[in-house]
Chain A
Amino acid sequence: EAGVVQSPRYKIIEKKQPVAFWCNPISGHNTLYWYRQNLGQGPELLIRYENEEAVDDSQLPKDRFSAERLKGVDSTLKIQPAELGDSAVYLCASSPIAGGANVLTFGAGSRLTVL
């Protein structure tokens, strides 16, 4: 079974440029998460989807970040324009359903460097 697939693995951009990350979750997993992991820190939730619906986006900086999950399968996370402080690893995870004891399966992450 394929795991959570993310691309690109690495991205280097100049500040003020746009960037997009793509995630394909495990087949059949209804819940998809985007986390941001700053250097030396634990992951912090940006947004959680249940099927197509964004049910928790309270930590998403909506002035520059956007996300979508069309058809309730794969998802994209966009930053426009990027700032220096956006340099981080962006992790996608999925689980069969949300919350409780459900185990999240993580992708390898997309490492963003903003110069």
Chain B
Amino acid sequence: AQSVTQLGSHVSVSEGALVLLRCNYSSSVPPYLFWYVQYPNQGLQLLLKYTTGATLVKGINGFEAEFKKSETSFHLTKPSAHMSDAAEYFCAVSENTGRRALTFGSGTRLQVQP
């Protein structure tokens, strides 16, 4: 079985501040991990994904995430927040064996204050 826990349903930062969105996963086999972003009234868009290899993954719009197996975490960061980053962010897990669909966390809404 696989599951995702996102700590903090709402995060508020000032423009230019560090963004940190937390994600912990549970998976019985080595996972594939994803971050998606959802802007109002739009579908989900892929930010980045971890499959194998380098544990620090860079995505679009300056976001990156680090896979830490020992902590079962895949936190999303961005050094400097921009107003356009305000959106809902979802962490998701997929097992690298079998053919399961993605399992999503409950999401974190990011607010960016001017």
Give the B-binding residues of A (Cβ under 8 A).
4, 33, 40-45, 48, 55-56, 91, 93, 98-101, 103-104, 106-109
Contact = CB atoms under 8 A, between A and B. Distances in A.
B43 A107 contact: yes
B44 A43 contact: yes
Contacts of A100: 32, 51, 94-96, 99
Interface of B: 4, 9, 32, 34, 36, 41-46, 49, 51, 90, 92, 94-96, 98-107
Contacts of B90: 42-43
Given A41-B106, A99-B100, A100-B96, 13 more contacts: A42-B106, A42-B107, A55-B99, A56-B101, A93-B44, A99-B98, A100-B32, A100-B51, A100-B99, A101-B96, A103-B34, A104-B101, A109-B43
A108 B49 contact: no
A48 B101 contact: yes
